[in-house]
Amino acid sequence: MRRSPLLITLLFTLALAYYVHTPLPDALEERWKCVLLDVLIRTVGHAAKLMQWLGFGHHIQNLRWFSVLLEGTPGPDFVPGVKARDETFAGVPVRVYEASGGEGGLKRGLLYFHGGGWALGSAKIGAYEKDCRILSKELNAVVVSVEYRLYPEVQFPVPYQDCFAAAKHFLSAEVLSRLSVDPERVAVSGDSAGGNLAAAVSQEISQDSSVKVKFRVQALIYPALQALDFNTPSYIQNSRGPVLPLSALAKFWMQYLGVDLSLLDQVLANHHSSQQQSLLTPELRARFDWTRLLSAKHRQNYKPVVADKGLDGILEKIPALLDVRAFPLLADAEVLSKCPKAYIMTCEFDVLRDDGLMYARRLEDAGVQVTSVHHEAGFHGCFSMAALFEVGKRAQKHYINWLLDNL
C-alpha cells in the first residue's frame, strides 16, 4: 500500500510526458515554444469536446470561447494613431482600421480575410485585431477586416459569398472615395482559410465586368487551396506538425464543404478523388498534380496516392468538391491569367506548404507575376504569432515590405 502514491505519481508522470511529447522536427526554431503551443492547442481542443459531451454547446463554439479567453482584445492604444470602427459592407460586418498622419492624401486599401478553418477566428479579437492595427500603421492604409460567417452556423458557399459581397462593396467608387483609398492601390489578402477566400475572391473579381476597380495585388499567407489530394509531400511530411496537423485540416475542409466526418479515413486515403470519379477529368487532375507542379526539392521521394476505387458518386452528391470558389487551385489557366500580381508565403513545416507552391507555379505558368516567399523555419500560424516567434516577425516584416513596394 505504501507504494501506491509512488506508483500513481509514476503513472501520472508517464501520462503527462506522453501527452506533452510531440514529434516535432528538430529544425524548428524555438522548438520548445512550438511544443508548448502544440500542447496548449491540443488541451483546449480536448476541453472544447468535453464541454460538448457535457452538453455545453458545439465544440467549435466552445473553441471560440476559449480563444476569446486566451487571446483577449488589445486596447485602442495598442498601436497609437490607428482608429477602428465597425461597419457593414453589403450586409456583411467588417472592422475598418485607419491610420492617422502618414504621407497624406489617398491611402492604400487592404481587404483582409482572417484564417481559422472557416470555423474559428474573428476580425475583432486577438491576433487578427493586432495584425490589422499594425498593417494599417505600417502601410498607411485603410484596412478592412471581414467578419464573414462561420461553421457550424453556415457552410460553403456562405463564407465565400460574404467575402465576395464585402469585396465588391469595398471596391465601389463611392466607398473608396469615402474612405480616401486610392483605387489604383487596393489589395486583397488573407491567411490559411482566409488565404483560400482571398484567392477565390481575387479570381472572381478579376472576371466580373461589373466591378470597375480591380485589386492591384493579392497577398496570400499559407493559403488552403485544394482538398482533393491529402497525400501531397507536405501533407505527409507535416501530418503531425504544430498548430495544424493533417487530421485537423481535413476535418475543417469536410465541415466547410458538408462532407460527413465519418468518411474522414477514406478522404485521407484520397478515395474521394479516386480513379472511379468520372467527373474528375485528366485536365482537372493536372491542375493539382504535385508531381509536375512542385520542384524536386519538395517532391523528394514521395509517391502519389491515387485510389482505384472509393466513395463512388461523392462528387455528384457534393458538387462543392469541384467548385473553384472552394478550390482556387482548380481554376483554369484563362481565369488565372487575369489575376493580379501575387505574393504567396509558404512555410516548410506546414501541411499547406505545397498548396501555396503549386498555386504560385500555376499562376506563373498563366503569365502572372508572382513573388513566392518560403520560410524554411516557418510553421502554420507563425505570421500571426510575431509577438512570440522570431520567424513570425521575419514573415510579417517581409510581407509588409513587399506591400510597401508593390501597392
Which residues neighbour 11 within 8 Å (Cβ) at sequence distance 6 or greater? none
Task: Give the CA count within 13 Å in the CB-facing half-sphere of 89.
Answer: 28
Check 202, 274, 380, 384 and give the catalytic one: 380
Specify whether 332 is catalytic.
no
The number of helices, as runs of H, and strands, as runs of E, in the chain is 17, 8
Distance of CA 320 to the CA centre of its chain: 18
Q: Please report the sign of the dihedral spanned by the C-alpha atoms of residue 191, residue 365, residue 349, residue 303.
A: positive
Q: What is the DSSP string of 202-226?
A: HHHHHH-TT--S--SEEEEES----
Check 162, 191, 350, 355 and give the catalytic one: 350
Packed helices 31-53 and 59-71: angle between N→C axes, nearest 10 degrees: 130
Check 192, 202, 274, 384 and give the catalytic one: 192
Q: Among 336, 330, 324, which residue's Cα sits nearest to residue 366?
A: 336
Specify whether 350 is catalytic.
yes
Phi, psi of 159, deg, nearest 5: -60, -40
Specify whether 202 is catalytic.
no
Catalytic residues: 192, 350, 380
